[in-house]
Amino acid sequence: MKRFFISAIALVMFSFGAHAQQATVWQGTMMIGSVTPECVAAGIRRGDRFFSVFRPANIGTNGTETRVTINGSRAMARMVIAGQNFVNNGTYTGTHLSSRGGQTSYTGAFENVLVIPATFNENRIYVQVNARYTNFFNNTGCTVFVRTAYIKRPD
């Protein structure tokens, strides 16, 4: 029931401000490769997996923001990178939805980004994104390194 509730909230929240035309997105599994002690204290551990949706900037009708949603079993987050795609290092604005219905906004950074392939378009089927995120899931000081394998959503 909690998962349904979180999903329903996320659908409304993440649909807000959507473009009239369908966005080009990839979806897949994000796996945590390493964590800082602050993450462990927040219940985020090496090996944790999340469902993720990747909406890169400047692909199809996606506009100029890159968006990454991360869905866990008890919480969700959305990261927005304004005006660019993932390139090495930068900052993001995040929104966190807790399993108790709370919503908070926060900021963080992404570092050491590796997107495979480095350049792609809306016809690409598979995309891999490896990155380090700070303040993961709105946990100050929590830095994770993730590997995410995405496949293009056919809709």
Would residue 70 count as lying in a domain? yes
Residue 99 counted as domain residue: yes
Amino acid 19: pLDDT: 43
Specify if 21 maps to a domain: no
The structure tokens 């401000």 sit at 17
Q: What is the pLDDT of residue 20?
A: 53
Mean residue pLDDT across the chain = 87
- Residue 51, domain extent: 2-15+26-152
Confidence label for 15 from pLDDT (cuts 50, 70 and 90):
very low
User: Does pLDDT of 12 surpass 90?
Assistant: no
Q: 63 lies in a domain?
A: yes
% helix, strand, coil for the chain, step of 5 = 15, 45, 40
In terms of DSSP H, where are the helices of the chain?
2-15, 37-41
pLDDT tens, position by position, 22-72: 899 999 999 999 999 999 999 999 999 999 999 999 998 999 999 999 999
Residue 97 lies in a domain: yes
Tell me the C-alpha distance between 131 and 32, whole Å: 10
pLDDT value of position 142: 97
The reply to whether omega before 56 is within 30° of 0 (cis) is: no
Place of tokens 């490896």: 130
pTM over 0.85? The answer is no
- Please, which residues bridge with residue 122 across strands? none
- The answer to whether residue 78 is domain-embedded is yes
Residue 140 counted as domain residue: yes
More reliable by pLDDT, 120 or 33: 33
Token pair in block for residue 138: 């709105």
Question: pLDDT class for 16, splitting at 50, 70, 90?
Answer: very low
The total domain count for the chain is 1
